[in-house]
Structure 1
Amino acid sequence: MVLPSIEKQFADSLKSIARNLEIKEYIQQSPELYPLFLSSAKRFVTGESREDGVSIGDQLVHKGYRISLEFIGENTINKEECVRAKDEFIALIKQCSNRGISSRISFDLSHIGLSVDPELTFQNLLEMAKEAQSHGLSLMISMEESAKTDQILSIYKRVVVEYSNVGVTLQAQLYRTLNDLNELLNYSGEIRIVKGAYQEPSDICIPRSDKLDQRYLELVDLCVRAGHQVSIASHDEAIYKQIIQRGYLQNSNVEAEMLYGIRPELCKQLKDDGLPVRVYLTYGVEWYLYLCHRIAEYPPNIYVAITDMIQGAKDTSKLY
């Protein structure tokens, strides 16, 4: 079924609001609104500091989960800020290694330079990949708006021939993704498959529907049959039912991955059943856009967000 029209309209509107810089700045500068929105964000974001992310990540690792960590940020338009973001990721890699945490490090290329200079992005990525490799960690490039897809895949293909510890994310909602995946299976990096959180033109993407679910499963099936490392990044219980029936999560090259704060009960169920589950954790001050996307992906989360504003954020880590 296609997402009900009212919920779809709400989700599309929220995605537009999320990218309105005036609204974002107003909330960030408001002494009344900022703490309220931060209370809601803490259901999905570990906190604003690196230590917040690493500490909660350490807790989840000891509970038997795999983890991904991300310093939130994207569309950085200042070269100095791109370099600072790269340095923060380097520091995150080192801190994980020092704490003995085998985390994957996830990020947007536009956080480390894509909106400024593709070559700067590539050099920053090379430095991160080298550092991660020296500590036995992996990197995962997130996918962004479709207008950036060609650049992201081009940079990924350049770096992965040197560093096989770098993976890339693909959005099932884009019609082009089937062709992209068939090409990327020739490269060694892990592939993470998501449905896609961005609002895209209807002529290039599949709406939330049974058709999108089938495309998602088709992409996973291609990776599994090719013996390629794949992360099934979804919160859709129907998707997991199919994945489990097909026995995919029994394969050493396949794992489930879910965002922190989304379906923790499903995460725990899969993990308790002995299946490999990775929890995707984020930290940083740029949580506004991330919060909007989490609500847009599942509109009923707006009620949870309002409740958190009124009652205060609960400790999400205890739900795992």
Structure 2
Amino acid sequence: MVIEKQFADGLKSIARNLDIKEYIQQSPELYPLFQKSVKRFVTGESKEDGISIGDQLIHKGYRISLEFIGENTITKEECVRAKEEFIALMKECGNRGISSRISLDLSHIGLSVNPELAYESLLELAKVAQSNGLSLMISMEESAKTDQILSIYKRVVSEYSNVGVTLQAQLHRTLDDINELFNYSGAIRLVKGAYQEPSDICIPRSDKLDERYIQLVDLCVKANHQVSIASHDEVIYKQVIERGYLQNPNVEAEMLYGIRPDLSKKLKDDGLAVRVYLTYGVEWYLYLCHRIAEYPPNIYIAITDMIQGEKDSTQLY
């Protein structure tokens, strides 16, 4: 366990190293190898890839969430292009009658440039989503951005109830945040938290964090608030199923594409609501690093895919 934690922490640090990222992206030897590994966790590089796999999963009985990968965009022009891609994605879903949640990082559409740009972009996206019968889910980023993200969310959800927000169970502040968010209509997506944070503001991966996670789910259910249990942890699901939470129409399970498809299928086959979170785009490097860091044994799967060739996860659902 200690070695796995050290490996995960090291990989998270590497994920944020732009020099390493650039080296891999420009390497004619490494880039194709990483592309083979990422196919298991990312649907492809275009919205057509995401929509196609999403449509297949919907026909198998799953709910879906779609995201155009990207975060920490540093120029206004790039932010505008990202916003336009999300608009095109939502219009295509609307035209094809595909019911989906659209997930995004606010730093992908302007937060790292100017919070007002992110607010204005999110407002526009919420309007387009509503007109196409879709919902939006704001992802949570590093704790340094939490106040800004929640502030923008509260402003937008006051006008568009189809917007939700993600909270990290690992942060001590989340207990206060979630009680305040019950005053707003948007769905809440609960994750344990994938970011390295200072030890004085968060709970490390442990039984204590599992207890906090269940406590937060309890609060959502008692408040009759819509919540996504975004976890791949069987211990968590065992407890929420025993409490009857997943039979509640306001509660759903949510898992990332390619991570524990066996568990997703089992829950779905048991008649429970399961959402699969699908991503697409070329900025998959950070995403892949986080998927391996969250569950270190995935490194063996990644290496196998590099050797044996590309393999998507659709057939596993």
Match for residue 224 of structure 1?
Answer: 221
**How far apart are the structure 2 equivalents of 1:264 and 1:278?**
11
**How far apart are the structure 2 equivalents of 1:114 and 1:202?**
25
Q: Are residues 1:82 and 2:79 paired?
A: yes
Match for residue 215 of structure 1?
Answer: 212
**After superposition, where does 1:1-320 map in structure 2 within 5 Å?**
4-320=1-317
| CA shift for structure 1 position 198 | 0.4
| CA shift for structure 1 position 187 | 0.4
Note the residue ranges of structure 1 that are not aligned, 5 or more in a row: none
Residue aligned with 1:74, SS: coil
**Given that residues 105 and 140 in structure 2 are in contact (C-alpha distance below 8 angstroms), is that contact kept between their aligned partners in structure 1?**
yes
What do the CA deviations read for 1:248-297 (whole angstroms, capped 9, x no partner)?
01111000000000000000000000000000000000000000000000
Amino acid of the structure 2 residue aligned with 1:5: V
| CA shift for structure 1 position 313 | 2.2
| CA shift for structure 1 position 99 | 1.2
**How far apart are the structure 1 equivalents of 2:121 and 2:28?**
35
Calculate the aligned-residue CA RMSD, in Å.
0.5
| CA shift for structure 1 position 315 | 2.7
What do the CA deviations read for 1:144-196 (whole angstroms, capped 9, x no partner)?
00000000000000000000000000000001100000100110000000000
Residue aligned with 2:307, SS: helix
Residue aligned with 1:130, SS: helix
Displacement over 6 Å in runs of 4+: none
**Given that residues 43 and 312 in structure 2 are in contact (C-alpha distance below 8 angstroms), is that contact kept between their aligned partners in structure 1?**
no
Amino acid of the structure 1 residue aligned with 2:204: P
Amino acid of the structure 2 residue aligned with 1:153: L
**How far apart are the structure 1 equivalents of 2:122 and 2:267?**
33
Amino acid of the structure 2 residue aligned with 1:130: K
TM-score for both structures, normalised by structure 1: 0.98
Amino acid of the structure 2 residue aligned with 1:164: S
Residue aligned with 2:140, SS: coil
**How far apart are the structure 2 equivalents of 1:39 and 1:197?**
23
Note the residue ranges of structure 2 that are not aligned, 5 or more in a row: none
TM-score for both structures, normalised by structure 2: 0.99
| CA shift for structure 1 position 312 | 1.0
Amino acid of the structure 2 residue aligned with 1:16: S
**How far apart are the structure 2 equivalents of 1:315 and 1:133?**
31
What do the CA deviations read for 1:14-46 (whole angstroms, capped 9, x no partner)?
000000000000111111111100111111000
**How far apart are the structure 2 equivalents of 1:132 and 1:152?**
19
Residue aligned with 1:167, SS: strand
Fraction of identical pairs, as percent: 85
What do the CA deviations read for 1:205-258 (whole angstroms, capped 9, x no partner)?
101000000000000010000000000000000100001000001111000000
